[in-house]
Amino acid sequence: MGYRTVALAAAATYCALISPTACAEPLDSDVVPPRTAISIRSTLGARWSTPNEHESRTSLSLTKLYLADYALHHGDGSRADRDLAERMIRYSDDGAATTMENKYPQALKSIAAEYHLADTHSAGSWGAAYTSTADLADFLDAKMRTDPNSPIFEWMAAAGENATDGTEQDWGTARLPFVLGTKWGWSDFGEQDVASASYGPGFAVAAHTHGTATEQTLDILAALPVVGLQLLTGH
């Protein structure tokens, strides 16, 4: 584990858990390029983000977090629903998501309303929906505070090394030390987009990048040394 990775995680954890004031100032675009949006939340109320955290972007497979939560709390309680939800979160199974959405077409709009996710919008199918890193981090933060035993956290922590389509699941926010579980998303068509959302002890973090998985990881690793400096200097 390299020094920059340790510094990133340590600063993020301190920022999220201890010093809301120091974390209030968004990072400039010369630190995290506009291609990437990042949001961090803590269960103690601290917030940190890039300036573009409320930008609605394609939600990719991160929509599956919302679909799974709807099925677990508002579905018919069947074992089939639970199995579909687990496949969506652990292996990012697109077929499972389509089956779930066909059964509960109101799921995304319902979850957006329930958790006050103002940047989250349906666009006809789960794969074309939009959300923001702010909404994703807020959603996970709310789950940690109100539903800490949700199977969603268990499944994120037990994510497969590879998704159903063979994609390796090991980048982005998952690279932070102290992270306990992650959900990833990526585009299959058009220009490449990637997203990841993770949780750890008392914090949630989400990122979305107009670019590659490697670029997202690099952008996250570039951010925290500057955040650490802000924490040390107070500005």
Question: Which residues 6+ apart lie within 8 Å of 92 measured at CB?
Answer: 61, 64, 163, 164, 165, 167, 169, 183, 184, 185
Give the residue extent of every domain in the chain: 3-233
Q: Name the band, by pLDDT with cuts 50, 70 and 90, for residue 228.
A: very low
Residues counted in the chain: 235
The superfamily in CATH containing domain 3-233 is DD-peptidase/beta-lactamase superfamily (3.40.710.10)
Question: Which residues 6+ apart lie within 8 Å of 29 measured at CB?
Answer: 51
Structure tokens at 108: 């995304």
* Residue 83 pLDDT greater than 70, yes or no: yes
Kindly list the distances between the CA atom of residue 59 and the CA atoms of 90, 101, 222, in Å, as whole numbers in the listed order. Answer: 17, 15, 23
Q: How far apart are CA 48 and CA 230, in angstroms?
A: 12
Identify which has the larger pLDDT, 93 or 226.
93
Q: Name the band, by pLDDT with cuts 50, 70 and 90, for residue 198.
A: very high
Q: What is the pLDDT of residue 230?
A: 46
Q: Name the band, by pLDDT with cuts 50, 70 and 90, for residue 46.
A: confident
Q: What is the pLDDT of residue 104?
A: 97
| 135-174 b/e (C-beta count within 10 Å ≥ 16 → b) | bbbbbbbbbbeeeeebebbebbeebbeebeeebebebbbb
Residues 136-172: tens digit of each pLDDT: 999 999 999 999 999 999 999 999 999 999 999 999 9
* Residue 20 pLDDT greater than 60, yes or no: no
- Do 35 and 52 touch, CB atoms closer than 8 A? no
* Residue 76 pLDDT greater than 70, yes or no: yes
Q: How far apart are CA 28 and CA 118, in angstroms?
A: 24
Q: What is the pLDDT of residue 189?
A: 77
Q: What predicted TM-score, i.e. pTM, was given to this entire model? A: 0.86
Angle at CA of residue 189, ends 104 and 174, nearest 5°? 75
Q: What is the pLDDT of residue 225?
A: 63
Type of residue numbered 168: E
Q: Name the band, by pLDDT with cuts 50, 70 and 90, for residue 211.
A: very high
Mean pLDDT on 207-213? 97
Q: How far apart are CA 77 and CA 71, in angstroms?
A: 8
DSSP element (H, E) containing 112: helix 107-114
